[in-house]
Amino acid sequence: MQYEETENRGLEERLFSLVMDRCNRVRGLNTFGLKMTYLGNGTAGLKMVVGTEFSNAHGRTHGGLVAAALDTAIGVAVWTLGYDVVTLEMNLNYIAPVEVGDVVTCDGWVIHKGKTVVVGEGEMRDGNGKLMAKSRMTFYRVGELAGEDY
């Protein structure tokens, strides 16, 4: 992922760089073709073009890719708060099929910042803005983004 392709919506520059560096180290993001579009305080957005390699038996996008994209958007939104977390739970509603070749966007945002638990939500939309999937995730805070990373 390129820094210049990602809009910084108000994060302190060191935290923005840290989150982008972490995203660049997650090999699956590049494998899936996920591109960060913006980072803000408790928010993150990404986009991708769904390739044929991610189709299911019905010729549509595999639900696992939808889950991975929303997991990424919501998880990165949590990182923008400076929290290091692990996932406790993910709920995902598939609302409409994502077709191979679609350009989709995922937006994630934090709705609760507790001392030990963080909750976020996210949505996937197609190029026309149609809602394709919605997710809610719960994370356990294991620390801060600090040390050698920050």
Mind listing the pLDDT tens digit for each residue in 75-91? 999 999 999 999 999 99
Asked if pLDDT for residue 9 goes beyond 80, the answer is yes
Q: Side chain identity at 35, as an amino acid letter?
A: K
**pTM of the model as a whole:** 0.94
Report the pLDDT value the prediction gives residue 1, as an integer from 0 to 100. 47
Residue 2 pLDDT level (bands cut at 50, 70, 90): low
Domain ranges in the chain are 3-149
CATH number of 3-149: 3.10.129.10
Interacting residues of 8 by C-beta distance below 8 A, sequence separation 6+: 16, 38, 39, 40
What are 107-111's contacts with CB under 8 Å, separation 24+? Answer: 107/43, 107/44, 107/45, 107/73, 108/43, 108/44, 108/45, 108/70, 108/72, 108/73, 108/74, 108/75, 108/76, 108/77, 109/42, 109/43, 109/44, 109/74, 109/77, 110/42, 110/43, 110/77, 110/78, 110/81
Report the pLDDT value the prediction gives residue 110, as an integer from 0 to 100. 98
- How far apart (Å, rounded) are the C-alpha atoms in residues 51 and 99? 9
Distance of CA 121 to the CA centre of its chain: 10
State the first-to-last Cα distance of the chain, in angstroms, to the nearest integer. 19
Asked if pLDDT for residue 135 goes beyond 70, the answer is yes
SS3 content of the chain, % helix, strand, coil (to 5): 30, 45, 25
Per-residue pLDDT reduced to its tens digit, 61-74:
999 999 999 999 99
Asked if pLDDT for residue 56 goes beyond 60, the answer is yes
Q: Which residue has the higher pLDDT, 110 or 31?
A: 110
Per-residue pLDDT reduced to its tens digit, 11-21:
999 999 999 99
Report the pLDDT value the prediction gives residue 28, as an integer from 0 to 100. 79
Averaged over 117-121, what is the pLDDT? 98
Q: HSE of 17 in the Cβ direction (CA atoms, 13 Å)?
A: 6
